[in-house]
Amino acid sequence: MAKFSEKQVEEINEIITTIAKEIKASHEIGARDRKILSGLLATNKIDKTPKFFPCKREYSEAIVSYFVKEKNNKRNKFSMNAQSFIYIL
């Protein structure tokens, strides 16, 4: 896992707090670009509507890993590293 400075940790914690208000135990979490994810969901005939949260590319993997490891949410199969949006389904 990457090492982050104090300022970066504060930014990550702000994003985690925002996502934590919206996410439930049954939701899946991942990181992907909006347009690409919309196309993937349509192609695979998945009717769920994603909710997006903007973040810096360097933080996306740390945020998704936090929710997968600490909060026991499932990582969505379309999730990738270094993406500009975190989404929940």
* Structure confidence by residue, pLDDT tens digits, 25-49: 999 999 999 999 999 999 999 999 9
User: Which DSSP category does 73 fall into?
Assistant: P
Which residues neighbour 41 within 8 Å (Cβ) at sequence distance 6 or greater? 48, 50, 78
Among 65, 60, 67, CA closest to 21:
67
Token pair for residue 72? 């026991």
Taking the model in full, what pTM does it have?
Answer: 0.90
Question: In this structure, what are the phi and psi dihedrals at residue 31, rounded to the nearest 5 degrees?
Answer: -130, 125
Residue 1 in this model has a pLDDT that exceeds 80: no
pLDDT (0 to 100) of residue 3:
87
Report d(CA 4, CA 13) in Å as an integer: 12
Query: What is the domain partition of the chain in residue ranges?
Result: 26-88
Mean pLDDT of 12-35: 95
